[in-house]
Structure 1
Amino acid sequence: MLPQDSLQQEVIESVQVSLKFDLLYQRIRPDISKFIAVTSKLSLKSLDDWERLIRAEIFYSLRKYSPKQSGNEIHQVGSLRWMDICNADGFRRERALRTISGGAPNSFLLALTVRKLNDWVPQVRAAACDALPLIAEASDPEFIVDVLFITLPYWNSWGRMGDIEKEALMKVILMEKVTEALKKRILISSSGPVATIFVQAGRTTALDKFLAEIAEKSVQPSLRAKAYRCQFESKFVWAEGLTWQWVDKVHGIRRSIPVLKERIISTTTPFIEILRSATTDRSPMVRRIAGEMLIKELNNIGDEAFKLANILASDTSQSVAERGRYALTDLKKL
C-alpha cells in the first residue's frame, strides 16, 4: 500500500503538470522538473505501487489529448526521459533508457532504472544493461547505495533477471566511489539485511580488501560474523535463488531450498590473528564462530589453542562456553 494520500496527489499532479499541452500548436511540451522534485520525496519502499501509479497517470494524461477526442494529431515535443521509464509502452521505456544522459536526479528514479533489469520486454532489459553503468558513473554514490540496499536482498525473486543483467549491476558495485560508499554504509547500519547485502556484493571483488575492517568495526553482529566466516573459510557464499528438493517422492512432497554459489578469495591476515580477534568480539554470535573454527583447526594452531579454548570456556554465553570446553577436552586427549 502507498503512504499518505497527500503524497499520492502530489505525484499525480506532478505527472499532469509535466505533460503541458500547447493549445495553439496542438503539442505536448514536457517539463518534468516538478516530477523530479516530487519523486525526490518518495521512499524506496513500495516501488512497484509507486511505479504503477505513475504509469497509470501517464496513460490517463496522454489519453486526454488523443486524436479521437481532439480530432487532430497530437505531437509530443521532446522526451519524457525519466518519467518514460514508467511508461506502459515498452518502446518508450527502451527509448528513455537509450536517450537519458547524466546522473540520476534522485535515488527513487535510479531505483526505477535498476528495476528495468527485470523488465518483461527483453529489449528494455538490454537497454537497461547498457544505460545503468553510464548513469551510475555520473550519479551520487549515496543514491546508488540506497538502491543497492533495497535491491540486493530481494533480487533473487526477480524472475526475468538473468546473469547478464546481474553482471550490469555488479559493474556498478565495482566502481571505486560506489565501493567506498557501500563499505561506509554497511559499517554503520544498525538494522536491515546488511549481511545479505554484504554477501551479494561478494559476487565481486569490491569488498575483499575491507574484510578485516568490516569484521572488526561493523555495528551489526550478524555482519561481523559473516565477515569473519568469509576470512576463516577464504570464500564468499551467497544464495542464487531457490530450487526444489524431494522430501517424499511417493507422496509428492517437496520443499524449496536455496541454491548456493561461492567465490574463493585470498586473505592476507594470518588465521590465528583472525581467530584471536573473533574470540574477543563483543557478540556471542561471532564468538560462537570462533569456537567452531578453533575446534575445526585444533591440530594446526599450536600452543595458543589452550589459551583461546580457556577464554571461550569461561564465556558468559552458554553456547560459546560449550565450544570452549569441547576444545579443551580434545586438547587434553591430544
Structure 2
Amino acid sequence: MDEKALTAFVLGFHQLPVEVHPQAAMEIREISGLYRLYKAKSTYLSLIWPTRTESDLLRQHSPLKFLYIFHGSGYLREAALEAFDGPLESPFLFACIAYRLNDWVKEIRQAALACAERTFRQTAPDIIAKAAFILLPRVRDWHRWSEEAAILEKTFSRPDVVERLALLIATEVTGPAGKALTFAMRHAEMDRHLMRISQVAVQPPVRALTLRILIEGRILWPEGIRKEWIDKSMGRYKLAVTYAERVIERPVSLDSLIAQGAADKAAMVRRVAADGLVRHRASLNEVDQLTAKFAADRSAAVRERAIFILKERDEEGRR
C-alpha cells in the first residue's frame, strides 16, 4: 500500500452505501489488521512503515483517519474522530460518525459527539438525508448512547434535511422508505410534505402509509419495549412494543383524501381509503359517491368495505 493506494481506498470509501456499514466496518478492520492493541503495530501497516507507530502514521497521513475510525483500539478510534473537521463528504462517512455515537466505549462516544458538533452543521443536506434514509429505522435499536442521541435528532430535524429526505422517501424505488417516513414523522417539519408524498411516492406502501396518517390525523411510531406480565408469580412475561403518538393537521378535507385514495392505482392504497370511509362515514359529505365507487372496485378487499356500508343501510331501512 502506498499513498496512491490509500487515496484509492478513500475514494472507494465514499462510494459505499450506508446500508452496508456494519459489514463494511468489520471487513475493513479485518482486512487492514486494525484489531490489535494500541501499543502494537498493525501487521498490515507495519509492513509499509515498520519504524512508525499507528498514531505517528495518522498524524503524518491524514487519510488514514478513514481507516482508523474502525480500529479495534479505542485510542486510535478517538484519534481518528479528532482528525475530522469541516463538512463530511459522503453519506457513508456521515454514518460512520453516527455509529460512533453509539460506540461501546464512553470516551469514544464523547469524541464522536465533539466530531459531530464540528462537522454535521457544515455537511450538505443531501448527504445527511441519504444517511438518514437508512439510519432513522436503525438508531432506535442503539442502547449504549444517551445524551449523544440529541445531535442526531437535531440534525435530522433540520428543515433543509427534512425537505431532501421527503424527496427521497417519495422517489426511492427500493429501500426502507416507509420506515424512514415513520421515524421522520417524529419531527413536525415533515408534516408539510405529507400531501405530496401521498400523491407521488413511487412505492405503494409509502402512499398507503401517508394516506392513513392524513386520514387518521395522527402518527404512531415505535418508541421502546416494555414487559407485559403473563404470570408474575412464575416470572413469565412477554415483551411488547411501546408507541409514541403525534397529532397531524389535515391539509385538505377527509372527503378529498378518501377520493384521492379511491383513484390510486394500487389496491392497498384504495383499501386504506375505503377503511377511512367506513371509519369516518358519519362525518363525510360525499358518502354515497365514495361508497358507489368502492363498491365497483376491482379489488375484493376494497369492495367488502363498501358492501359493509350498503348492508348497514339496508338493515337500518328495514327497521
Provide TM-score, normalisation by structure 2: 0.82
Mapping of 1:1-334 within 5 angstroms? 13=1, 17=2, 33-56=7-30, 57=32, 58-59=34-35, 62-63=41-42, 65=46, 75-76=56-57, 77-78=59-60, 80-132=64-116, 134-162=118-146, 164-247=147-230, 254-302=237-285, 304-332=286-314, 333=316
For 1:117 and 1:247, locate their aligned partners in 2 and report how far apart those are by CA, in whole Å. Answer: 36
Structure 1 residues 34 and 190: alpha-carbon distance in aligned structure 2, compared to 1, 3 A threshold: closer
Task: Say if 1:298 and 1:43 are closer, same or farther in 2 by CA, change over 3 A.
Answer: closer
Tell me, in whole angstroms, the C-alpha distance in 2 between the residues paired with 1:216 and 1:188: 11
Number of aligned residues: 304
CA gap 1:250/1:285 in 2 versus in 1, 3 angstroms: farther
Distance 1:240 1:319 in 2: 31
Name which of structure 1's ranges 72-81 and 306-315 shifts more when overlaid on structure 2. 72-81
Q: Distance in 1 between matches of 2:27 and 2:72?
A: 11
Q: In 1, Cα distance between the equivalents of 2:111 and 2:247?
A: 32
CA gap 1:248/1:289 in 2 versus in 1, 3 angstroms: farther
Greater shift in the superposed pair: 115-124 or 213-222: 115-124
Residue 192 (structure 1) shift: 2.4
Are 1:312 and 1:320, in contact at CA under 8 Å, matched by a contact in 2? yes
Matches of 2:149 and 2:295, distance apart in 1: 44
Structure 1 distance, partners of 2:145, 2:202, is 32
Gaps of 5+ in 2: none
Distance change >3 Å, CA 288–CA 247, structure 1 → 2: farther
Where structure 1 has 5 or more consecutive residues not aligned to the other structure, the ranges are 1-12, 21-30
CA–CA separation in structure 1 for the residues paired with 2:177 and 2:83: 34
How far apart, in 2, do the equivalents of 1:161 and 1:74 lie? 26
TM-score (norm 1): 0.79
Shift of 1:300: 1.4
Output the CA distance in 1 between the equivalents of 2:185 and 2:9: 35
CA contact (8 A) 1:310 1:328 kept: no
Identity %: 27
Aligned mates of 1:282, 1:72 — CA distance in 2: 62
Deviation at 1:178, TM superposition (A): 1.9
Contact 1:116 1:124 in 2 (8 A): yes
SS in 1 for 2:23: helix
Distance 1:325 1:165, change over 3 A: farther
Distance of 2:214 and 2:302 partners within structure 1: 20
